[in-house]
Amino acid sequence: MEGNFGAPPQHRNHLKSPVGNQAGHRRRQQAVQIGKERREAVVRAKRLRRGDAVPNGDQSEAPDSHMDEEATARAAEASSRALEENTLKAVKALREYVGPGIILGKDMALKKIEALRNVRSLLSCNAMPPLNVAVEAGVVPLLVQCLAFGSPEEQILEAAWCLTNIASGEQDLTKAVLPALPYLISHLGDKSAATVAEQCAWAIGNVAGEGEEMRDILLAQGAMRPLARLMSSPYPSLARTASWAMSNLIKGPSPRAASDLMKIEGMADTLVGLMMKGDEELMVELAWVMVYLTSMADAHSGILLSVGLLPILINKLGTSDQTALLTPFLRCIGNIVAGDNSKTDAVLNAGGDISGGIIGALTRCLDMGHRTMQKEAAWAVSNIAAGSMLHKRMVFQGGAIPSLLHLLATAAFDVRKEAAYALGNVCVAPKAKAKEVDPIVEHLTVLVDRGCIPGFTALVKSPDMEAARLGLQFLELVMRGLPGGQGPKVVEKEDGIAAMETLQFHENDELRLMANTLIDKYFGEDYGLEEEYGSEVVDMIRGSDESSEYPPWRRGVVNG
């Protein structure tokens, strides 16, 4: 598949250069990589549930701030040892009440719950709870037995809480929880108390957050449908937790889980209806579900649009200042406009009810000064600008260009790159079959006049190969498309030649060949002669050199 200015089908066009470059694939399933951004902008993919202070004193309290460094280290080490010792004792105490053949009277059953509560407190007491110590001491089989059907509600709750925190740890700890999954899933049912169901959903969400392997296990064991039902719970906390767990369950990279969710009868209507209720905390979690649904298939986007998703997204984009909400909403819009042009038309039309339309709402996010907002908004704008000529003109005339130029010049690197894609897509005409992409001269001229070239030359010189390729493509467009043959002179004035020369011996064959070919074509040995000596002299020089050949280094060949 031919590389695009961006990546198909994430709705970016090709900034065509004459060197036959492949621009590389970009983010078709970017949503599956969202974990890091989500932890930064909203919540962790896994959540440890805090609890009460450790019984008999919290051994994990910070040392006295007046201690010297050595004394602080000794105190911290002593605190850690005490916490580990208490954990071992707590697991040992729990074992006395759990096991085959143990029959407990009423008083002993209460002591069993107290022993469970003690373990739970230790596993939720500080930023680094002794999860490994508890697992190595054999706590998981004991907790699984405590989840048995017919057990007291409080016992199941405490055991599920312990398993939730164990599953919040590293991969080995999460895998240790696998024997408990059938019970945790079963306790999502109608007969469970809301507190128990929520805690089990929390544990399942942590397991799903570990990765695709864990998600496949949960799906095979039937976790999806009970979680889907709990998303509509009348208990707000339970609905939020179930929605968060569902977002972890369907996040991909396989589209199967998202497709299975959409196959549940009435699910699209249910999801949109829940978002209409106005509970912003629930809306945040549901929005992440929408992110993964819209990223996996264009068909999902179409169904969600048909049941009224767009007005909710666009209204909040135009009015909300909540980063936690805007991040997934922006990603949903970006995914939708990454589809066919009819979906982009729908988004643009729906934005007619807010001041400045959807482009104005996205520009508002570009100007918020928040890195994640800027990056997501620029990505959405770039996908709109990769559409039809009408879409490009709406971006160009809708007020986003000054903001994008500002970000290209001043923002963090990843934001600058997204802004560059948006600006580049505004400047290239929709690609016709088997034809080279043509520049939109009016747009290109305005951007160059407003000083965009330094931002693109900076990308050329960056160590990021995708950014360097993007910068080269835009410089080629300027040199080829600026009226009156002024492109090479403008690029030279802004140190574009020096930027391209940094790639002349690059280890990447594509970048090296692109840079050398552009230098040869636009700044060859006769560059500037016509201006100085006239066209007749230049024609004579060119005629005498027809049979000559550039040395290997000028063709991008490196001698080994």
Asked whether residue 1 carries a pLDDT value surpassing 70, the answer given is: no
In a domain, 429, yes or no: no
Per-residue pLDDT, averaged over 40-56, amounts to 60
Q: What is the mean pLDDT of the chain?
A: 84
Q: Which residue's structure tokens are 């909203």?
A: 42
Q: For residue 303, what pLDDT band results from cuts at 50, 70 and 90?
A: very high
| Residues 114-138 pLDDT 10s | 999 999 999 998 778 999 999 999 9
> Are the CB atoms for 348 and 394 separated by under 8 Å?
yes
Report d(CA 506, CA 463) in Å as an integer: 10
* Residue span of the structural domain in which 528 resides: 451-559
Q: How many domains does the chain have?
A: 2
Q: 271, 302, 336 — which closes off a domain?
A: 271
pLDDT band, very low/low/confident/very high, at 543 (cuts 50, 70, 90): low
Residue 49's pLDDT is what?
86
Structure-model confidence comparison of residues 135 and 535, the more confident one: 135
Phi, psi of 534 (to 5 degrees): 100, 160
60 inside domain: no
- Position 540 scores a pLDDT of 59
Measure the CA–CA gap between 58 and 53, rounded to whole angstroms.
Answer: 6
Q: pLDDT at position 19, please?
A: 26
**Region 232-254: what's the mean pLDDT?**
95
For 168, phi then psi, to 5°, come to: -80, -5
Domain boundary among the residues 247, 271, 295 is at 271
Separation CA 453–CA 498 (nearest Å): 13
Residue 433: inside a domain: no
Q: Percent of the chain, pLDDT > 90?
A: 68
Q: Which pLDDT belongs to residue 381?
A: 97
What tokens does 87 get?
């954990």
Closest by CA position to 31, among listed 287, 231, 207, 218: 287
pLDDT band at 191 (very low <50, low <70, confident <90, very high): very high
How much is the pLDDT for 534?
A: 52
Res. 22: pLDDT tops 50: no
Q: How high is the pLDDT of residue 352?
A: 78
**pLDDT recorded at residue 20:** 26
What distance in Å separates the CA atoms of residue 503 and residue 376, rounded to the nearest whole number? 30
Tell me if 456 is assigned to some domain: yes
| 39 within a domain of the structure (yes/no) | yes
Task: Give the pLDDT score at 77.
Answer: 77
What does the alpha-carbon distance between residue 176 and residue 249 come to, in Å, rounded to a whole number?
18
Lowest-pLDDT choice from 70-84, 209-223, 539-553: 539-553
Is residue 291 situated within a structural domain? no
**pTM of the full structure:** 0.83
CATH number at residue 228: 1.25.10.10
Assign 80 a pLDDT band (cuts: 50, 70, 90).
confident
Q: Is residue 440 part of a domain?
A: no
In a domain, 57, yes or no: no
Band of pLDDT at residue 431, cut at 50, 70 and 90: confident
Radius of gyration (Cα) for the chain, nearest Å?
30
Task: Check pLDDT > 80 for residue 331.
Answer: yes
Residues 337/387, Cβ–Cβ less than 8 Å: yes
Q: How confident is the model at residue 13 (pLDDT cuts 50, 70, 90)?
A: very low
Question: Which of 271, 304, 336 finishes a domain?
Answer: 271
